[in-house]
Amino acid sequence: MSFQIPDVVKGAVDVDPWLEPFANELANRRYNSLNWIKTFDENENGLLNFASSYKHYGLQPNPQDLSITYKEWAPNAVKAAIIGDFNNWDENSNVMQKDDYGNFNITLYPSPNNPNDYLIPHDSEIKIRLWLSNGEKLDRLPAWITRATQPAIDLSKVIDKSKVDSSYKARFWNPKSPYVFKHPRPKLESNDGLKIYECHIGISTPDPVVGTYKQFTQNILPKIKDLGYNTIQLMAIMEHAYYASFGYQVTNFFAISSRFGTPEDLKELIDTAHSLGIVVLLDIVHSHTSKNVLDGLNNFDGTDYQYFHSGGKGNHDLWDSKLFNYGKYEVLRFLLSNLKFYLDVYKFDGFRFDGVTSMLYLHHGIGAGGAFSGNYNEYLNENAQVDKEAITYLMLANQLVHQCGRLEDRNFITIAEDVSGYPTLCLSADKGGVDFDYRLSMAIPDMWIKILKHLSDSDWNMGNIIHTLTNRRYGENCIAYCESHDQALVGDKTIAFWLMDAAMYTDMTILKPLSPIIDRGMSLHKLIRLLTHALGGEGYLNFEGNEFGHPEWLDFPREGNNDSYHYARRQFNLISDDLLRYKQLYNFDRAMQHLEAKYHWLKAPQAYVSLKHEVDKVIVFERANLLFIFNFHPTISFTDYRVGVEKGGVYKVVLNSDRKEEFGGHDRIDEAASRYFTTDLRWNNRSNYIQVYIPNRTVLVLALEE
């Protein structure tokens, strides 16, 4: 009797027949999420309504009667009161009522002395005071607070920080004139590939200060539009008390970082991006959270298990942070509502989920447990070291985001940061997958750094490079990138720094002849980026500043650097200096993005690679009716180099990295006189060939004449 594949995962097995032995386990994981959906339908009037809990929890002003309702889940507490500036921090003034589910509730009406205004003034400080059964009192920031601000004191000037209250302050954010969105969300067409500009608001200024939402809106969004990126990914938006954590130690999940400005400022930024046709993604951190007690979720109601696993299971030892219990009803309410909050209130268009590898596995990708061989048993055996509750949460999160998108007639986007290669991660829910739209191709930047760090130019292996760039799961979309924020951090080096750090501070001026180091560095910087872009995935990502070869690493102010902001910035001023070569790298990146926007190779089928010549160091492939010809050879240029191509006709140059004025090359190709006629003879398994002059360390992109 043949094995019957469960219907819920039949689509996944059709895509990858090797999944068949694991079909029952895959089905069980899908059933787990479907059971939660059924529960939400029965108890909460559906997933969307359940995830709209942000409208009921926390502080909710009612403009009709000027009342404020406040709801907080703290099951271990026996008594609670809201305290703040508005009641002179009197714990007896506004005591809350506890229901059978561990929620405390209160409704605050205007004072008789001021009947025409809310009882709590806009932007005033508040806390919740909790009493435990042993009589202990705990002061906490409301878990659903939408505004938290830094302490007024400058901690960098305090000698003994242990004697200072450095915790963040919860604020009741209720402006009289909230920002009103003016522009609809952009709608990416079916052939628009994601071209993502990964950015951090605070460092998006040449000055050694913390940048603001308004500065980003005015100064950086126009550059992103000019470059041709259609998506931005905002990092470090969720409030985090420690700036140097890069936003990955979240303290307040519903509050956006106050160090960059106000919620209204961020709404204006997103609205402006939308007006430019730019989609906005949030780098969401649901994989863990800060251990902070006074301004975070840790020990909120006096237990270590309210939002997290108890004991050691609730701690991430490598990150020194807390781990959510994804199997808990109220934790799902909190996290799913957090997603819908950012979609609804701030108009984000999707999420890049951080730390998905840590979520997927009980070992969190640490140590020997994180050495993934690709054997399906590591992921899909019923006894595999996977966190099935976390997988269920990710399925629910993706279903929620995509359901919200359908309501807006948009494709809201989800991207997984996963290094493990978990099968079905980016297959749709109707096929039985986890339902992410894309995963980050994290092996690609690792490859480039290893090559630049350990190999001389003559030892580059074209076959290995091609294998890494094309080795992705069939039917599961990938975001390719040469380097992200990880490679920009102090302790690592960007590609530009690996290539040129010995000469970047002295030889990037056009007042000097092009030095060998800068010549090599700029040439390979362009080739590496275009090869990754055109061959590596169905989307592309760049970390801000790397497109023009930013000359320094990224290091946030911290105790180890005397709280310096010198390296916590991006020197966009360099591309405005006509005496420097950075603008030429910027120009190439712009040309690359706009060429993709015209020919749509990111949404085209995977490229056909017709040549990867180890001696000549030449790579040739076709994608989206374009012919890409790369010559990585350090010294040899080839005349009349024969290149196979499937479609016959006359080809012209549409991009040439050797342009001197525009891209910093040597102008060795006369583009105006370069028309390439195909010969009707098979070459390299293609139906035709052309013969081209391809200079060393140059890439040519050819297209049929229209």
Which residues form the catalytic set? 354, 417
CA separation (Å) from 555 to 154, 208, 355, 491, 674? 20, 11, 21, 9, 46
Nearest to 420 by CA among 480, 482, 361, 354: 361
The pair phi, psi for residue 582, each rounded to 5°, is -60, -35
All residues at 6 or more sequence positions from 54 whose CB lies less than 8 Å from its CB, including other chains? 144, 254, 337, 338, 340, 341, 344, 345
CA separation (Å) from 73 to 53, 59, 80, 139, 229? 12, 12, 10, 14, 42
The pair phi, psi for residue 102, each rounded to 5°, is 85, 15
H or E, element range at 543 = strand 539-543
Q: What are 242's two structure tokens? A: 């420690």
The pair phi, psi for residue 31, each rounded to 5°, is -60, -35
Q: What are 418's two structure tokens? A: 């996963």
DSSP 48-93: HHHTTGGGTSEEEEETTTTEEEEEEE-TT-SEEEEEEGGGTT-TTT
Q: How many helices, marked H, and strands, marked E, lie in the chain?
A: 18, 29
* Rounded to 5°, angle at Cα 591 from 589 and 593: 70
CA–CA separation, 41 vs 220, rounded Å?
A: 43
Question: Residue 636's Cα: distance from chain center in Å?
Answer: 40
CB 532 within 8 A of CB 495: no
DSSP character for 626?
E
Per the listing, tokens 């010559």 go with 631
3-state SS class at 574? helix
DSSP character for 289?
B
Nearest to 488 by CA among 541, 417, 530: 541
* Rounded to 5°, angle at Cα 149 from 206 and 215: 25
CA–CA separation, 185 vs 427, rounded Å?
A: 25
CB 2 within 8 A of CB 20: no
Nearest to 306 by CA among 132, 155, 536: 132
Q: Give the number of other CB atoms < 10 A from CB of residue 389.
A: 18
Strand pairing class (478-480; 438-440): parallel
CA–CA separation, 39 vs 32, rounded Å?
A: 11
